[in-house]
Amino acid sequence: MAGNTFGQLFRITTFGESHGEAIGVIIDGCPPNVEIDLEFIQGELDKRKPGQSKITTQRKESDTAKILSGVFGGKSTGTPIAMVIPNEDQRSKDYDHNKDIFRPSHADFTYQAKYGNRDYRGGGRSSARETAARVAAGAVARLFLKQKGIEIFAHVSSAGAIDAPNVPSRNLAELLEIRESNIVRCADPATANEMIELIDGVRKQGDTIGGKISCIIRNCPVGLGEPVFDKLHADLGKAMLSINAVHGFEYGSGFAGSEMRGSEHNDIFIAPEGDAPVSTLTNFSGGIQGGISNGMDIMFRVAFKPIATIMQSQQTIDKDGNAAEIKGKGRHDPCVVPRAVVIVEAMAALVIADHLLRQEAISL
């Protein structure tokens, strides 16, 4: 119950602190006979790793995942898949000044209060470094989903107040190519340039800024999601809200939908021709009705706050409650979303893989 496990049947447990020996993950429940493509896993990690471009942190870590168990002859065996990612470029000294001071809007104060014993180096367990383990596990989930024809695509749809237009309804592989052609990971190249300019400007001011990521899950079979509490969007929401810096989640029509009338919001069914699957004229439901996937694209959006570590002086307090001043050191991201795109995809993949197994369990 200590909260380091996610999923019911396709289940991951992560471990590790930012400046400890290593971080890692155990995947328990991956079905046997999934082809474990190491290059794909590493490719996903590379999209999250630090030091990718001028608008990410300049820390350099290769984030190389090593598989310790659960794979035989290139395929999963159905036993736990353990993966370890050693920590490399730790400048723990960058954090000595944090030892007894609580950084504003960080987890320093709450961890100290909760546990009493806190690894303050680099944020310890509260560091977003933990998400590398999620990306590795999510990559395995994606390999499983790939075998089922299910695709997941996310991109940066907003940086600060700059919003990208809705992505055109096209092939996800094409969108991926466009997204990866720019360092901010937006599927609209023109907007991408604006976003990069904004983030770079913010960085130069020693400040940070938030953003949003939009995600599409395609070819998800009808029937995933469990009423009542484990609605598919509720599990997606929890997954996204568990990512560092996330402050909001909406699916389908989302917050805007709360201003609509039922007569415009209802997704009218289209009578299918021949063997075609059931579809709807609009998709305000975001592919989920009554908590269960209906076969349409699953669509959701995630809001990230600006990262708390800024390169400016801030007032704060120390462990004893005395006023203090702090200035960010270390190497940090001016905006989290470019690196968070694969984290969103990874968590989405884990939720879908889990619900695929859960649905299978009642199909007997």
Question: Which of 13/191 has CB closer to a second copy?
Answer: 13
Number of CB atoms found within 10 A of residue 247's CB: 11
284 contributes a contact to a second copy by CB under 8 A: yes
Under 8 Å between Cβ of 159 and 337? yes
307 contributes a contact to a second copy by CB under 8 A: yes
31 contributes a contact to a second copy by CB under 8 A: yes
Number of CB atoms found within 10 A of residue 226's CB: 17
3-state secondary structure of 248: strand
Q: Is 361 annotated as a binding residue?
A: no
Amino acid identity of residue 284, one-letter, is: F
* Among the listed residues 64, 69, 181, 193, the single contact to a second copy using CB under 8 A: 69
173 contributes a contact to a second copy by CB under 8 A: no
20 contributes a contact to a second copy by CB under 8 A: yes
**Secondary structure letter of residue 35 according to DSSP:** B
Min. distance of Cβ 307 from a second copy in angstroms?
A: 6
Q: How far apart are CA 252 and CA 201, in angstroms?
A: 32
Min. distance of Cβ 64 from a second copy in angstroms?
A: 14
Q: Which of residues 215-274 bind a second copy (CB under 8 A)?
A: 222-223, 225-231, 233-235, 237-239, 241-242, 247-255, 257-263, 265-272
143 contributes a contact to a second copy by CB under 8 A: no
Q: What angle do CA 349, 354, 356 make, to 5 degrees?
A: 95
DSSP string, 87-105: -----GGGGGGGTTEEPTT
* Among the listed residues 47, 49, 118, 185, the single contact to a second copy using CB under 8 A: 118
- 175 sits in the region (left: phi over 0; alpha: psi -120 to 50; else beta) called alpha
323 contributes a contact to a second copy by CB under 8 A: yes
Q: Which of residues 341-360 bind a second copy (CB under 8 A)?
A: 356-360
Q: Which of residues 81-100 bind a second copy (CB under 8 A)?
A: 81-82, 84
